[in-house]
Every structure is written in C-alpha cells, then in structure tokens.
Amino acid sequence: MTQTSSSGLRVEEEDRLRADLYRLVGGLLSRPPGRETLAALGGLIGDESDLGRSVDDLSAAARAATPDSAVEEYQELFIGVGRGELVPYGSYYLTGFLNEKPLARLRADMAPLGIERADDVKEPEDHAGALLEMMAGLIDGTFGTIQPLAVQKGFFERHVGSWMPHFFGDLQASKSARLYRPLGRIGRLFLALEAAAFEM
C-alpha cells in the first residue's frame, strides 16, 4: 500500500510508518507534549513485540501525565538550570562539547539534501529531535524528494546511529524520567531495527 505524502510523493506504507515513528519520537524530544499530544499518546496500542510493549508503556505514562508534569520533566531532563540531566546533541555525545566538528559535518550534509534550520529555531541542528525529524523527511519526501535507501543509510550512520542509541539508553536509565523513560526504550529499540534493516 502506498500513500501520497505532503510533498505529493508516493510513500510506501512501511516507509510511512518509519517516518511517523521518527517524527513522533523527534517531536517529543524537541518539545514537551501538550494536552492534545498526551491524549493521542494515551490512545496508542502496541503489539506483542518489545517495541510494541514499550509503546504500551508510553501510552500508560501519557495517561498518568499532565501538561504541567510533562513540561517539568522535560525541563529537568533536557534544559535544567545551566544544563539538564541529559544533553541531547550529537556533538556533545561524540566529543564532550557542543558545536564541534560533528555539527559542521551535519551542516555540510544538510545543504545538498535541501534541509535548513528554521529561522525561529535557536538550538543547533544536531539536537536529537531535529535529527529524527530530518530522518522522517528523508524517508517521506518532506524536503522535496524521497531519498533512496543509500542516502538514508549514510545520514543515519553518520548523524544518528553514531551516538543516539547511547543517548536513548541514558534516557531510559534516567531517574528523572517518567513519561520519557519508555520513549528512551522505544528510541533504542527502533534505532536497532533501523540499523539492522540498513545492513540487509
């Protein structure tokens, strides 16, 4: 089954689901969920796989959360006073510092793919949420064209798989995470599936 994307391109069902999951996780890392998003998350139903059970856990955590508790948790995890418990940037995970060479390499890869940082976004482009949303766009053509698997794989290996599984492991293990703990497990499991699929 195929579906037409917002760019007017035909997207296979499997790829649409991949893009949706990248976009869901990326969105939750980019901003705390509001009431409508929490309600949508609370209605998710997983299957019997490890990933599906993690989706059920996220759904239960969303039903137990409020918009205020989600904002408080997000602040504690990712912003904090000075910095949050976790620093969700590729440069930090790969070098120990922000705005280092991994960010420059990312920007060099973004330009030919037609990806630009929005004017109202202040964070560096190597933020975990932004990178996952970029992956979604490469898959479903948000940036103008659906990228072939070889391009998706190259971007994934350089900018996502190189550090984000470690980040998601840290998120899953965080003592501050309640709503975000199952998201950490979802991210870790999903990226493992993606890495395996790219190797096939």
pLDDT at 120: 83
Q: Give residue 5's region: left, alpha or beta (phi > 0; psi -120 to 50).
A: beta
Phi, psi of 117 (to 5 degrees): -70, 135
Distance CA 75, CA 84 (A): 7
- pLDDT of 45 above 50: yes
pLDDT tier at 8, thresholds 50, 70, 90? low
pLDDT tier at 121, thresholds 50, 70, 90? confident
pLDDT at 3: 47
- pLDDT of 2 above 50: no
Q: How far, in whole angstroms, is CA 185 from its chain's centroid?
A: 12
Q: What is the pLDDT of residues 73-119, one digit of tens each?
A: 999 999 988 889 999 999 999 999 999 999 999 999 999 999 998 88
CB 177: neighbour CB atoms within 10 A?
20
Does residue 3 or residue 198 have the better pLDDT?
198
pLDDT at 146: 94
Phi, psi of 81 (to 5 degrees): -100, 105
- pLDDT of 193 above 70: yes
Question: H or E element: which one contains 2?
Answer: strand 2-4
Q: In whole numbers, what is the pLDDT of the chain averaged over residues? A: 93
